[in-house]
Amino acid sequence: MRRAALLLLLTGCGGVFGLGSDSGSVASGPGPWPVANVTYGSADGIQETPVVGLSTDAAQNRWLATNAALYLLKPGEIRFRRFDARDGLHLSGNPVRYCDSDFTGGDRACPIFGAAVPPGIRTIAGGGSGEVFVGYYGRSAGAGDWTDPDRHSGKIDRVRLKPDGSLQVDRMDLVSSVSAQFWENRRIERLLYDHARRELYAGTNHGVDRLQPDAFRNPKPGEWFLAPTREWLSDHLHPRVCFHKACTGDESKDTQMIGDWRGLALAPDGDLWVAGKWTAGKIRWTQPLSQWHARIGADTFAIAFGDPYDAATGRNPPVFRPPREGDPVDLSTVTVAKDGTVWFASGPQSSSSRAYGIASWDGKAFRYFDPIRDAGLPESNVRDLVALTDGRLAVASFSALVLWDPAAGRHTAVGGIPGGSIQMLELDRRVAPATLHVATEQGAAALRVLP
């Protein structure tokens, strides 16, 4: 399979391709990669497993990540180049030194260090030409504020390829846009880059952040760090439900259930769909970055499911229908189909939780589907799903990938991908045919010819 792809590449299959938003952009050519299916593994220079992500940037460079390293394959090359902490990535062996002595509260630690915690890299997303964003595991069991010694753990690296082949790596430390007190967002569950607006969204263990990477800069000597941070970061938003009762809006009384935002998807109107452990919703886009976090209610959310939720009637469910408001539904992903239907899936990360299946939202009501009976998966825990350009859905459990046509009631298994559990799916719509990226425990695949 790999030899066939290389032959097509060497004989020429390039073309002009669109670089619009991943949400509904129109591609105008095949791009520099062959229109063929390719798999990647140890024979291509990948030294570790699992592969946690495969993505492309605006120049169609292919970036691949394991927990321990970032890999790059440029068009025309046949072997990945490997980068790790020695090349600037902020893994545990290469922390950034911070000084919080100017804080008005907390422990005011100086020095205090920021880097990934084991196992390291959680996810990636390609950005502009020669650019990729790396999301890390962070420790989030503490207070979440300036008293927490792990407040700088995890977070995001902006990685750019320099002309000499080395990397420019800038660590993007997430902190509340209101004050230096709150540092809840650390573990990066999902990254989504909007190529049209050149903006990055980060779904984290706590909330959802919006970033403008081109505006990133480090503080000048003597400058209060939040001043430049607010130029590129707005932190953070989240639909919420409350534990076993409707939310009152009084945080001293409400036990808000929020976090684990593994699902991010751009809507055709430019708003952002988000899906987490307890609920889901649609965040309105706003031009000024400073307004992202500064809104409330309907000004922030076009749709916010699950609060209040009537379990007896099923009215306003948090996508699926748990026994009570505030019980987890473990949403693993969200995607928007070409007809505008929004699709969600449930994929618990713990065997003690229930997998609810697959749901669709047509703007008025939910429909529910069984992953085994309807989509043809061997198990009900859905790892990821992506809407394809032909109207079908690529649906992954831990052990299988299928292409499902809900309208026709047909599903087709996809073979020829590396073995082990499936880690993540991503669709690059900026080339035609689009490329389905599949990251698995033992390797990765770039699929352009689908059954």
Same domain, 368 and 289: yes
Task: Please tell me whether residues 203 and 102 are part of one structural domain.
Answer: yes
Domain count, the chain: 2
Is residue 447 assigned to a domain? Answer: no
* Euclidean distance between CA atoms 203 and 196, whole angstroms: 19
Provide the 3-class DSSP secondary structure of residue 409.
coil
Residue 310 lies in a domain: yes
Query: Rounded mean pLDDT of 335-342?
Result: 97
For residue 50, cis peptide bond before it (omega within 30 degrees of 0):
yes
In the prediction, which pLDDT does 8 show? 35
Please, what is the average pLDDT of the chain?
A: 93
- The residue behind tokens 């990254």 is 191
- Residue linked to tokens 């420019």: 168
Q: Which two tokens stand for residue 151?
A: 């407040």
Give the residue from 36, 28, 29 showing the smallest Cα distance to 9.
36
In a shared domain, residues 259 and 299: yes
pLDDT value for 16: 32
110 inside domain: yes
On whether residue 20 sits in a domain, the answer given is no
pTM of the model: 0.94
Specify whether the CB–CB gap between 142 and 150 falls below 8 A. yes
Amino acid at 100: D
- Domain end, chosen from 188, 215, 237, is at 237
CB 438 within 8 A of CB 67: no
The model's confidence at residue 23, banded by pLDDT at 50, 70 and 90, is very low
Query: Where is the domain boundary, 187, 206, 237?
Result: 237
Would residue 142 count as lying in a domain? yes
Residues 393 and 247 in one domain: yes
Of the three residues 216, 237, 258, the one that is the final residue of a domain is 237
Averaged pLDDT for residues 224-245: 96
State how far the Cα of 110 lies from the Cα of 100, in Å rounded to an integer: 6
Range of the domain at 403: 241-413
Half-sphere exposure of 169 (CA within 13 A, CB side): 23
Where does the pLDDT of residue 351 fall: very low under 50, low under 70, confident under 90, or very high at 90 and above? confident
Asked if the structure places residue 322 within a domain, the reply is yes
Q: In what order do the strands lie in the sheet with 443-447?
A: 38-40, 443-447, 435-440, 422-428
Q: How confident is the model at residue 11 (pLDDT cuts 50, 70, 90)?
A: very low
Q: How confident is the model at residue 249 (pLDDT cuts 50, 70, 90)?
A: confident
Same domain, 272 and 409: yes
- The strands making up 121-126's β-sheet, listed across from edge to edge, are 121-126, 131-136, 156-161, 167-172
- Enumerate the H helices of 196-252 as residue ranges: 226-232
Residues 381, 345 share a domain: yes
Residue 343's contacts (CB-CB under 8 Å, 6 or more residues apart) are 334, 335, 336, 337, 358, 359, 360, 361, 385, 387, 393
pLDDT in tens, 268-280: 999 999 999 999 9
Alpha carbon distance 85, 93 (integer Å): 6
Beta carbons of 264 and 21 less than 8 angstroms apart:
no
3-state secondary structure of 9: helix
Cite the DSSP H helix spans in 198-349: 226-232
Please give the Cα distance from 280 to 335 (Å, whole number).
Answer: 12
Name the 3-class secondary structure at 227. helix
pLDDT tens for 404-446 read: 999 999 999 999 999 999 999 999 999 999 999 999 999 999 9
User: Band of the pLDDT at 26, cuts 50, 70, 90?
Assistant: very low
pLDDT of residue 115: 98
pLDDT above 60: residue 177: yes
Do the bridges between strand 410-413 and strand 401-405 make them parallel or antiparallel, or are there none, so unpaired? antiparallel
Confidence of residue 9 (pLDDT cuts 50, 70, 90): very low
Place 28 in a pLDDT band, splitting at 50, 70 and 90: low
Question: Where are any strands of DSSP class E within 141-294?
Answer: 156-161, 167-172, 188-194, 199-204, 208-211, 233-237, 241-242, 256-257, 263-266, 272-275, 280-283
Q: Give pLDDT tens digits for 91-130.
A: 999 999 999 999 999 999 999 999 999 999 999 999 999 9
Q: How many CA atoms lie within 13 A of 25 on its CB side?
A: 23
| pLDDT above 90 coverage of the chain, percent | 90
- Check pLDDT > 60 for residue 254: yes
> Residue 297: what pLDDT?
85
199 and 312 part of one domain: no
User: pLDDT category, 391, cuts 50, 70, 90?
Assistant: very high
Same domain, 189 and 267: no
Question: Does 400 reside within a domain?
Answer: yes
Report the C-alpha gap between 54 and 132 in whole angstroms.
11
CATH code for the domain in which residue 247 is found: 2.130.10.10
Q: Are residues 257 and 296 both part of a single domain?
A: yes
In this predicted structure, what is the pLDDT of residue 24? 37
Which residue bears the tokens 């939310």? 247
Q: Are residues 140 and 245 in the same domain?
A: no
Task: Give dist(CA 259, CA 207) in Å, integer.
Answer: 6
Same domain, yes or no: 214 and 261: no
Rounded-to-integer distance, Cα 69 and Cα 84, Å: 5
Q: What is the pLDDT of residue 7?
A: 33
Give the pair of three-digit tokens for residue 97: 């030194």
250 in any annotated domain: yes
Secondary structure class of 85 (helix, strand, coil): helix
Phi, psi of 213 (to 5 degrees): -60, -30
Residues 163, 311: one domain?
Answer: no
Confidence category of residue 27, pLDDT binned at 50, 70, 90: low
Statement: residue 315 has pLDDT above 90: yes
